[in-house]
Structure 1
Amino acid sequence: MLLKSLRSLFTVLALPLILAMGLGLSATAYAVDDQTSQQMATATTSDADLWRAVQSGESGYTTEKGVEGGVLINVSAIEGTNIKNEYLTPAMALAVVGVFGAFLLFFLVNGPSKLSHGFSGKMVLRWTKADIWLHWLLAISCMALIFTGLNIMLGKHVLQPYVGTGIWASLIYGSKTIHDYVGPLFIISWALCVVKWMPLQTFKMYDLKWFLVVGGYINFGPFKGKHPDSGFANAGEKMWFWTLTFFGLFISVSGIMLVLPALDLPREASMAALLIHGISAIILIAFTIVHIWMATVLSEGGMECMKSGYCDENWAVQHHNLWYDEIKENGTLQYKE
């Protein structure tokens, strides 16, 4: 009887304890599950925030000591590349094909600007030997940069699909190497030309008329036979000179920024330099094509000036009459012996 009473008492005391322990374990398990879910949600949110920060170009922490070492994705580089591919590359192609095509059409319709009185046979000194060497040094380096730059920008669209992988690799590597090493030669010759020829390039009021009659190059209509006044340099040559001066400066400074890794520039500065370099190149390429057409094919007798330094006297009178009158008056007129 006593033993039965003790078992009943134990049951009464133990049952609540067991129930309490069961409820406690259940609550603990639920709490753990809830905490785990919260941690997983927090981790997911944290990962998403981290990825958004990486994509937006935010800088993190790293042991790398270089500029922007903590930036995994550079947004400005991506945007700059898109601008180059979507705008600069087509504009460069248009500058080459469009400007060259326009002048070719003009030449086929209009023909060259002939000397009204033909060649006199008397040659007048116009450029010194130093000027000629300086001109060709600048011209050759400029053309080398133009052709290699065009291959770097447009070659993958124009050449790469039609040549083998090995040939294309050699072409693009050669273009990049030549471009980098010819650059300093261009900068030096450009600076010397700017300093030496700047006094001859100031605009005058009579230059406006040169533009109004298209320099006297039109062989038909009301402009035919109109030869505007011009000094040593005509208005078109002055425009070319100042375009070369300013955009030559931009292309030189940006080029230096791109080829000197020791500068350790931020990616934004490098991308800005690349875009400025490309824009300046497009403008200079367009004006170079114009300059070559105007000085050679469209001007009868014009090429001789930069071959020997002398020009025909009738050419000087027709295209640079004010300069001819000046040297004739002050006694500096020199004929080729």
Structure 2
Amino acid sequence: MKQMIKALLLMVAVMLPGLAMAETADTAAATASQSEVLWQAMKEGATGYTTSQSEFHNQPINVYDERIIPLRNVLMAPGLMAALFGMIAIFVLFIMVNGISKLHGGFSGKMVHRWSKRDVAIHWLGAIPCILLILTGLMLIAGKFFVEPILGQAAFASMMAVAKPVHDYMAFPFMAGWLLMTLLWAKNQIPAKYDIAWFMVVGGYINFGPFKGKHPDAGFANAGEKLWFWAFALFGLVISISGVVLMFPQYVEPSRTLSLLAIIAHGLSAIVLCAFSIVHIFMATVMSEGGMDCMVSGYCDENWAKQHHNLWFDEIKANGTLKYKED
């Protein structure tokens, strides 16, 4: 009898874990099934109750325009990566083949006043946040697809914890710089007839073939700088407005469609501005010998002014506003 009881107890001990596992599996399957049913119901437009009175307040998810979310993943993420790293690769290759635009007369040693201290400060007020916004925005839009698979989830999460607040805080000085530059510099960015000739010879930056040695006319701003300025003014406006919508939904109270459209407008404008910014940075720091001095000291070498902005130099020389830096 004792042997039979021991045998029965042994059978129960063996069977209980299996029964528990079977019950757990059944529970998990039931939970998964319930989740699928709930998710399907939400996708079909199921509504609920909430005290909010905003538009679509009773809809758990957006079911009326599903094309917007895939657009962010399919277009914006690779687009921003291409705008940043693609443009860098193109410029590196171009410089390896073409070289930079050197001053044909060398440095004169005489520095001509070009930008005021106020203008230099405004430039960096917009430029530094712009660079940080590009890098952090890249993480926010494309990091999940291009960074996380390489660094891993933990490292990516830590980077995102820094990228998000930096992106938000840098928006304010960027918008201030954008507004000041747009208002104060527009007068020197008006297109002129000679700008067409500037584009025809690529600004004189090509060092081979029929373009070699060409120095097209340019005023205070050349045609390339004008194109950059108006792109910055236009897409900076879109980025600023869409950014405010995304950062302050409690005040703007956008619909879900407006919020998603703001994400798309923000991302697409960022792609354009990123590409233009890379061109602008390379032209100022690498391509144009002596060009970086303008936004460091506010002065440029006299030979640089004659070679790249001859009409402006002739104008300030003729009207008596030409000012040299004192030693």
| TM-score for the superposition, normalised by structure 2 | 0.84
Match in the other structure for 1:291 = 280
- 1:275-286 alignment, distance < 5 Å: 275-286=264-275
1:158 lines up with 2:146 in the alignment? yes
1:62 lines up with 2:49 in the alignment? yes
1:186 lines up with 2:174 in the alignment? yes
1:147 lines up with 2:150 in the alignment? no
Q: Are the counterparts in 2 of residues 56 and 73 from structure 1 also a CA contact under 8 Å?
A: no
Letter in 2 for 1:64: T
Deviation, structure 1 residue 137: 1.1
Letter in 2 for 1:188: A
Q: Are the counterparts in 2 of residues 64 and 70 from structure 1 also a CA contact under 8 Å?
A: no
Aligned to 2:286, the other structure's residue is in SS state coil
Q: Are the counterparts in 2 of residues 76 and 271 from structure 1 also a CA contact under 8 Å?
A: no
Match in the other structure for 1:106 = 94
1:80 lines up with 2:58 in the alignment? no
Using the TM superposition, name which of 270-279 and 82-91 deviates more: 82-91
Aligned to 1:106, the other structure's residue is in SS state helix
- 1:249-264 alignment, distance < 5 Å: 249-262=237-250, 263-264=252-253
Q: Name the larger-Rg structure.
A: 1
| TM-score for the superposition, normalised by structure 1 | 0.81
Q: Are the counterparts in 2 of residues 152 and 175 from structure 1 also a CA contact under 8 Å?
A: yes
From 188, 196, 211, the counterpart of 2:184:
196
Aligned to 2:269, the other structure's residue is in SS state helix
Query: How big is the alpha-carbon RMSD for the aligned residues of Structure 1 and Structure 2?
Result: 1.8
Aligned to 1:112, the other structure's residue is in SS state coil
Q: Following the alignment from structure 1 to structure 2, what is the Cα–Cα distance between the partners of residues 311 and 128?
A: 12
Deviation, structure 1 residue 51: 9.2
Deviation, structure 1 residue 72: 3.1
Superposed CA offset, 1:42-80 (max 9, x none)? xxxxxxxx99885354x7463432421221331256422
Letter in 1 for 2:311: L
Percent identical among aligned pairs is: 53
From 191, 206, 222, the counterpart of 1:234:
222
Q: Are the counterparts in 2 of residues 227 and 318 from structure 1 also a CA contact under 8 Å?
A: yes
**Count, aligned residues:** 287
Deviation, structure 1 residue 232: 0.2
Q: Which runs of 5+ in 2 are unaligned?
A: 1-37
Letter in 1 for 2:304: W
Q: Which runs of 5+ in 1 are unaligned?
A: 1-49
Superposed CA offset, 1:16-67 (max 9, x none)? xxxxxxxxxxxxxxxxxxxxxxxxxxxxxxxxxx99885354x746343242
Q: Are the counterparts in 1 of residues 84 and 274 from structure 2 also a CA contact under 8 Å?
A: yes
Aligned to 2:217, the other structure's residue is in SS state coil
Structure 1 residues 76, 232: closer, same or farther in 2, change over 3 A?
farther
